[in-house]
Chain A
Amino acid sequence: MPSFFRNKRLILILVSIIFLVALIGFTIRDRENLTLPEQFLQDTIGWVQTAFHAPVQFVTGTFDNVSDIKNTYEQNKVLKQKLLEDRNLLEDIQLLRKENKELRSMLDKNESLGGYTPIQATVIARGPEERWYKQLTINRGEQHGVQKGMAVITGEGMIGKIQSTSQVTSTIQLLSGFGGSNLIHAKVVGDDNQYGLIEGGYDEEKKALLLKEIPYDAKIEKGQLVVSSGMGGVFPSGLEIGKVREVVIDEYGLTQLAYVEPAADFYEINHVSVVDRDMFSPELDEQPEDPNEEEEGQ
């Protein structure tokens, strides 16, 4: 019965295409949480990933170190120079910090939008599908207080935000892989701050993030610092995102658009901090019971 087998094969393929479409439809929507089986699998494999990542990192790291040594002398010279400059800056910062603290205690306002608690984490895998998903897996999850939407930073600056969480692992979406639905409210630091939105992803050709919706009369110069504003409700303020590289009028001619060169290196990431902001966050935190605080939150 060859025709019968042919039909069976055809039906099998059709059924699998329907199954594919159903699965894609189920997972593509903006989900709050992963389902339990997904979390279980991610955590179990995350455990194996941890075991494998360290040795691989060691081997590949050794090669990197060898090539680093070549540049050490030049770097050393530059860094020594920089260190002298920074020492003066450090004293200034300490003075300012102390003054800030005193003034705050005078005002009786201890919380600030910039305060946060870092959750230290190690990267255990990097998604190989670089074209569509620039994501990392880290070894901290809901058990450690990580929540969907939190900002993730390295020592150099912001690298992304939490995409999804399991019990003991979570996935980071890198800034370079941001789609249209992810926004960060950011400010350009200057004499008077200008605000805009990091929006619409990453310009692959220019290697820059797009800061949109800047008022058309705002004066922004090349090299100005871009940090998170904290007004988005989830991130604290003051996380460094990058530096302005170029400012142009946007496609409609009503606002300005700045190309922002990211501060952090998106490729060599091993240790990250997940940022849990101290100030009440309407999206992440439960509604507080204290009525006073509630007013503040809303």
Chain B
Amino acid sequence: MKRLLLPAILLIFLILEGTATDFLPKEWLLSDYFMIPHWVFVILVYIAIFYDFDSTYYCVFYGIIFGFLFDLLYTDILGVYMFTYGIAAYVIHGVKKLLHANMFVAILMSIVGVALADALIFFLYSSVQGFVMTWKTYALMSLIPTLLANLVFTLVLYPFLPPLLYKWSEEQLASQKAV
């Protein structure tokens, strides 16, 4: 049963993303800045750093599943978030092998990961939809606010999530580590 807790947490945050705009003041929503919540992805970064061992790829696996659900629930085109979250989680998992797991690495990885994911999503959608927004406007209006908003979320989660993940990792994945 304990194994289901992690997917359950991811699912809850996926659903809470659907209410994310309620948390922001209306004046912000009416402005030209876009803040896209990548809460699921931030949790995936934590999973990559504190849960996965070098040989396990749970972050990629969950990234594909919950990216797909995001596509299904909140957009019309399937596959964009699925692909992006999968690839970005894989990159984070690869980089993490070179670094120690501590607070600064977690924050740095979440910033890099969210920036990578958001830019990839922007690239994919703008090539599919033919949306006219230059990279410069995107960086100013969308990428920077998104990074800040998700950085706040990363910091909020930091006291709670890593200890839990570390514990679950020892309990659930110890056998795989031995192999």
Q: Verify that A and B bind, or say they do not.
A: yes
Asked whether B78 lies within 8 Å of A27 as measured between CB atoms, the reply is yes
Chain A residue at minimum C-beta to C-beta distance from B26: A267
Asked whether B74 lies within 8 Å of A135 as measured between CB atoms, the reply is yes
Asked whether A60 lies within 8 Å of B23 as measured between CB atoms, the reply is yes
Docked Cα-Cα span, A26 to B128, in Å, equals 13
Asked whether A20 lies within 8 Å of B30 as measured between CB atoms, the reply is no
Query: Does A294 count as interface, using CB distance less than 8 angstroms?
Result: no
Query: Does B172 count as interface, using CB distance less than 8 angstroms?
Result: no
Total chain B interface residues with beta-carbon distance under 8 A: 40
Asked whether A128 lies within 8 Å of B37 as measured between CB atoms, the reply is yes
Asked whether A127 lies within 8 Å of B75 as measured between CB atoms, the reply is yes
Query: Does A90 count as interface, using CB distance less than 8 angstroms?
Result: no
Could you say which of B18, B76, B142 contacts A125, with CB atoms under 8 Å apart? Answer: B18
Asked whether B83 lies within 8 Å of A20 as measured between CB atoms, the reply is yes
Could you say which of B21, B69, B78, B86 contacts A128, with CB atoms under 8 Å apart? Answer: B21
Docked Cα-Cα span, A206 to B143, in Å, equals 22
- Tell me the chain B residues, 108-125 only, with Cβ under 8 Å from chain A: 122, 125
Number of A-B contacts (CB under 8 A): 112
User: In the assembled complex, which residues on chain B have CB atoms less than 8 Å from the CB atom of A42?
Assistant: 72-73
Binds B, one of A47-55, A98-106, A209-217: A47-55
Query: Does B36 count as interface, using CB distance less than 8 angstroms?
Result: yes
Query: Does B11 count as interface, using CB distance less than 8 angstroms?
Result: yes
Asked whether A130 lies within 8 Å of B79 as measured between CB atoms, the reply is no
Query: Does B157 count as interface, using CB distance less than 8 angstroms?
Result: no
User: In the assembled complex, which residues on chain A have CB atoms less than 8 Å from the CB atom of B20?
Assistant: 126, 128
User: In the assembled complex, which residues on chain A have CB atoms less than 8 Å from the CB atom of B12?
Assistant: 52
8 CB-based A-B contacts, threshold 8 Å: A13-B87, A48-B11, A48-B15, A56-B16, A56-B22, A60-B23, A133-B74, A135-B74
